[in-house]
Amino acid sequence: MKFGKIPLDQAAGTILAHSTRLTGRIFKKGHILAPEDIVVLQNSGITGVIAARLESEDILEDEAASRISNAIAGLNIKIGNTFTGRCNLIADADGLINYDKVRLDELNLIDQSITVATLPPYTVVTPRQLIATIKIIPLAVPNNVLNKAEKIAGSVAPIISVSPFQKKRVGLIMSRLPGMKESILDNTLKTVSARVATYGSDITHEIRVSHDQEEVKRAIENMSSLCDILLIFGASAVVDRHDVLPAAVESAGGSVDHFGMPVDPGNLLFIGQRGGLPIVGMPGCARSPKLNGFDWVLWRLLANIEVSPQDIMLMGSGGLLKEINERGQLRQNSNGANEKATGGEAKVIALILAAGSSTRMGA
């Protein structure tokens, strides 16, 4: 593609680089100048335009964007209309955006003319939500560059897809200590039920037992055939792989595959399985409805995405979530009144309200 200022008498068939406004008419960027357009421009006193002239191997921006979009879009994605070298990918289901980051990076590294931007991986998306945009930077792209992009996109499964949430039977085991208020467990059940229902599933079975390895073991055995995902909430935090809850999973014939995650709140989560049934030991912060590391694991399980130890260990980038003040152990100690505030967490030491009109104060 040749680009630059072109004398008007040589500009027929070129692509206009910038919109040109005339009295009563406008030629928009990307318009291919026809002979009759040249006459109109000449009559307006214009002698040259900044434009691009395609060479034999060049593909116009809209066609290029469309080709890449069709190559990378997978299941549960709608491809939008192409305009000015841009094509959007739209979610067509409730679920998680799922993509091959390695191949996406390879595609973006082919050439500066091709760009693909997406939401972060495993973001919860809803139908009609924009999840990715493909933008061709110049007015045209060489066909060999597009061929490279299509080869990467077509090497295995499509690069980008939406993994839809599935309706799951979710079981919940909660342990209690002597003197523990039943209302705590009631509220936990309410919170977990609402969290699961948001994504189309239900807590179908619930058992409450003493915080004892043998009792939790029996509950796991009783629940295993009744649910698709098993959640375990302990009366106290799990502090070791051999603590009560993970030990109960193993004594029930299951396995604990990973304990701990680089996401806070949510550090003290563990995952395991029994006979293919996913088991999640929930961190204490999951008693709150606020976002925490448990959500990141739950979303994937509800979307039929396997969660491996490596998956959890790679969650640290972006894993520092907003603090949950209701949890027992905050990440900043309460004695830090003299510490310099950093980041976005300011300490509020006073709140001054201006009352305004006294009639609003009951006077």
Tell me the three state secondary structure of residue 64: helix
Write down the H helix ranges in 259-306: 293-302
Confidence of residue 359 (pLDDT cuts 50, 70, 90): very low
Tell me the pLDDT tens digit for each residue of 89-98: 999 999 999 9
Which pTM was predicted?
0.84
**With contact defined as beta carbons under 8 Å apart, do 223 and 268 qualify?**
no
Residues whose CB falls within 8 Å of the CB of residue 294, separated by 6 or more in sequence, listed in order: 266, 269, 280, 282, 283, 285, 286
Partners of 281 in the beta sheet? 232, 270
Most confident of 35-39, 47-51, 193-197: 193-197
Structure tokens at 346: 């300011």
Question: What sign has the CA pseudo-torsion 107, 109, 110, 112?
Answer: positive
Q: What percent of the chain has pLDDT over 70?
A: 90
For residues 201 and 216, give the distance between their C-alpha atoms in angstroms, rounded to a whole number.
Answer: 24
Q: Is 335 exposed, middle or buried (0-12, 13-18, 19+ CB in 10 A)?
A: exposed
User: How long, in residues, is the chain?
Assistant: 363
pLDDT of 324 reads 82
- Across the range 196-212, mean pLDDT stands at 97
Alpha-carbon distance of 89 to 130, in angstroms, equals 6
* Average pLDDT of the residues of the chain: 91
Average pLDDT score over residue span 325-338: 60
* Segment 146-187, tens digit of pLDDT: 999 999 998 888 999 999 999 999 999 999 999 999 999 999
Lowest mean pLDDT among 12-26, 255-269, 296-310: 12-26
Beta strand 25-27 pairing with 20-22: antiparallel
In the predicted model, is pLDDT for residue 228 greater than 70?
yes
pLDDT the model gives residue 348: 61
pLDDT confidence of residue 55? 92
Whether pLDDT at 355 is above 80: no
Q: What is the mean pLDDT of residues 140-145?
A: 96
Question: Quick one: average pLDDT of 25-40?
Answer: 92
pLDDT value of position 325: 75
The predicted model gives 322-330 an average pLDDT of: 73
Distances (CA, A) of 152 to 42, 71, 101, 112, 131: 46, 9, 12, 16, 20
Which DSSP symbol is given to 276? T
Lowest-confidence segment of 21-35, 83-97, 118-132, 317-331 by average pLDDT:
317-331
Domains and CATH numbers, the chain: 1-19+29-35+49-53 (no CATH), 59-164 (3.90.1170.30), 169-313 (3.40.980.10)
State the Cα–Cα distance between residues 104 and 24, nearest whole angstrom: 45
The encoded tokens of residue 114 equal: 């091709």
Instruction: Say how far apart CA 165 and CA 30 lie, in whole Å.
Output: 41
> Using omega within 30 degrees of 0 as the cis cutoff, is the peptide bond preceding 265 cis?
yes
**Residues 229/306, Cβ–Cβ less than 8 Å:** no
DSSP assignment, residue 323? Answer: P
Cα separation, 145 vs 110, whole angstroms? 7
Cα(199)–Cα(97) distance, rounded to whole angstroms?
Answer: 14
Tokens encoding 3: 């680009």
pLDDT of residue 73 exceeding 50, the answer is yes
CA distance 320 to 322: 7
What secondary structure does DSSP assign to 81-133, as a single string?
Answer: --BTTEEEEEE-SSEEEEE-HHHHHHHHTT-TTEEEEEPPTT-EE-TT-EEEE
pLDDT at 353 over 60: no
The pLDDT value given to residue 246: 98
Residue with token string 């994605």:
77
Q: Which is it for strands 86-91 and 130-136: parallel, antiparallel or unpaired?
A: antiparallel
The better pLDDT of the pair 42, 333 is held by 42
- Residue closest to 289 by CA, chosen among 152, 196, 218, 191: 191
Give the pLDDT of residue 293: 97
Alpha-carbon span 133 to 275, nearest angstrom: 41
